[in-house]
Amino acid sequence: MTTETSPAQSAKGQAPAAPAAPVAASDVVPYAHTRLPDTERELLREVLYEVGTDPEQKFILGRRTAELERRLADRADVRDVVACASGTGALTLALRAIGVVPGDEVIVPAFGAEPLAATVLGVGAVPVFADVDPVTMVLDPVDAESRVTDRTRAVVPAHTFTTMADMPAIRSFARRRGIAVVEDAAVGQGATLGGRAAGAWGDVGLYSFFPVKPFGMPGEGAVVLTDDAELAARVRRLRNHGQDGVQRFVHHEVGFNSRFDEVMAGFQLGRLERADAMITRRAAVAGHYNARFAALRGRGLLAPTGGADGQCHYVYAVQTICRDALATHLAAHGIGSRVYYPVPLPRLAAFAAYAGQGADGRRPGAELASARHLALPLNLNLTDSQVERTADVVCAFFD
């Protein structure tokens, strides 16, 4: 996008004066709205009662969790799915399961969520930050491969906002270099690339059910996906303090407490048939934004890539060098927006020791992504009129 705007063009995108009158409540479009629909509130109440009065009295890792694992495996066309307590837990379990040990290096994107690097450090390994493509904001396969050394154990591509990572290219260099692929598809449930489900491309993958994710729920939870029976068995042990699920208090290895809640399993099962409709609605909102913003490319706004292949619909983030002015303009008109990662991971104090120096420390794509992205409202509670109003206000900024 570095050639999309000139200084003269960007100067046009200055925030207009705020409206003289306060924004009417009916015109406010909140960035996030996680209130459960009434039908799902009733479902949650029913499941809570069902689990609480079940003679089995099993509140974690019960038959509902096992059924959810089976059905998600069928939907993603993978051999096994293992439910656990959170997306961060899933990433930790995946790294441990593939054999990452202290001293290993793991390549992660320089632009993204903190657990990408924190989980690597948590298992004693070293995060190696690779650059991202400045337009798609996902891992750059060429830069990632350039950072492989004889200590590299794995690469962790993360699908970001509305875009899946280039999994064919990443799989190709990983196989060539003999390293594992841990696919962070936390935001990608329901997305496909080349006919293959997100989460099914890596040696091991994961989805998150954090409330704001595409199939989020009113609690924490996640799943690990794999076609490798041995990896699946190890994840099952690791999530339960190293126990095999057959004999209690026999610990085959040091593991974690990362178990899945039966109430949440029942809730997810009860709405699983709606998952596709939920994702379709989010895709429709993103598609409408794309159509409205297509004409703004030459005026300084870069919208996400359109189409269905390789697209997920978690966060709808545009890019512009007038990001802060656009956010101010939106707020003046009652429309919420959000900057997710204002600083690339290696420039955070927590990870500065691993940033690298000289050529190794340069990640221009991540710097641009951090400086230019702005997320617009994308949630299931948005009305068509709110989507249209958001698009109108964005377009007005660039007129």
Rounded to the nearest 10 degrees, the angle between the axes of helix 384-398 and helix 275-293 is 30
Domains identified in the chain, total number:
2
Write down the pLDDT at residue 21: 60
pLDDT in tens, 169-198: 999 999 999 999 999 999 999 999 999 999
Q: Are residues 26 and 122 in the same domain?
A: no
Q: Are residues 240 and 164 in the same domain?
A: yes
**pTM, 2 dp:** 0.92
Let me know if residue 1 belongs to a domain: no
Q: What is the CATH number of the domain that holds 245?
A: 3.40.640.10
Write down the pLDDT at residue 5: 39
End position of a domain, from candidates 272, 305, 337: 272
As a whole number, mean pLDDT of residues 34-41 equals 88
* pLDDT surpassing 90 at residue 63: yes
Q: Are residues 144 and 92 in the same domain?
A: yes
Q: Are residues 16 and 106 in the same domain?
A: no
Range of the domain at 45: 38-272
Residue 337 pLDDT grade (very low, low, confident, very high; cuts 50, 70, 90): very high
Write down the pLDDT at residue 35: 83
Let me know if residue 31 belongs to a domain: yes
Let me know if residue 171 belongs to a domain: yes
Q: Are residues 244 and 316 in the same domain?
A: no
As a whole number, mean pLDDT of residues 119-133 equals 98
CA distance 285 to 299: 22
Q: Are residues 130 and 256 in the same domain?
A: yes
End position of a domain, from candidates 249, 272, 295: 272
pLDDT in tens, 373-387: 999 999 999 999 999
Q: Residue 360 contacts by C-beta under 8 Å, 6 or more apart in sequence?
A: 147
Write down the pLDDT at residue 18: 47
Let me know if residue 114 belongs to a domain: yes
Q: Are residues 262 and 128 in the same domain?
A: yes
End position of a domain, from candidates 246, 272, 298: 272
Write down the pLDDT at residue 20: 44
Percentage of the chain surpassing pLDDT 90?
88
Let me know if residue 346 belongs to a domain: yes
Q: Are residues 23 and 124 in the same domain?
A: no
Residue 12 pLDDT grade (very low, low, confident, very high; cuts 50, 70, 90): very low
Mean pLDDT of the chain: 93
Residue 3 pLDDT grade (very low, low, confident, very high; cuts 50, 70, 90): very low
* pLDDT surpassing 80 at residue 2: no
Residue 204 in 3-state DSSP?
strand
CA distance 50 to 164: 37
Residue 306 pLDDT grade (very low, low, confident, very high; cuts 50, 70, 90): confident
* pLDDT surpassing 70 at residue 6: no
Rounded alpha-carbon distances, angstroms, from residue 328 to 17, 178, 356: 10, 48, 35
Torsion angles phi and psi, residue 233, rounded to 5: -65, -40
Let me know if residue 2 belongs to a domain: no
Let me know if residue 350 belongs to a domain: yes
Q: Are residues 157 and 48 in the same domain?
A: yes
Q: Are residues 61 and 122 in the same domain?
A: yes
Residue 229 in 3-state DSSP?
helix
Let me know if residue 51 belongs to a domain: yes
Q: Are residues 19 and 45 in the same domain?
A: no
Q: Are residues 280 and 168 in the same domain?
A: no
Pick from 272, 289, 291: nearest CA to 378? 289
Q: What is the CATH number of the domain that holds 355?
A: 3.90.1150.10
Q: Residue 391 contacts by C-beta under 8 Å, 6 or more apart in sequence?
A: 288, 289, 292, 293
* pLDDT surpassing 60 at residue 14: no
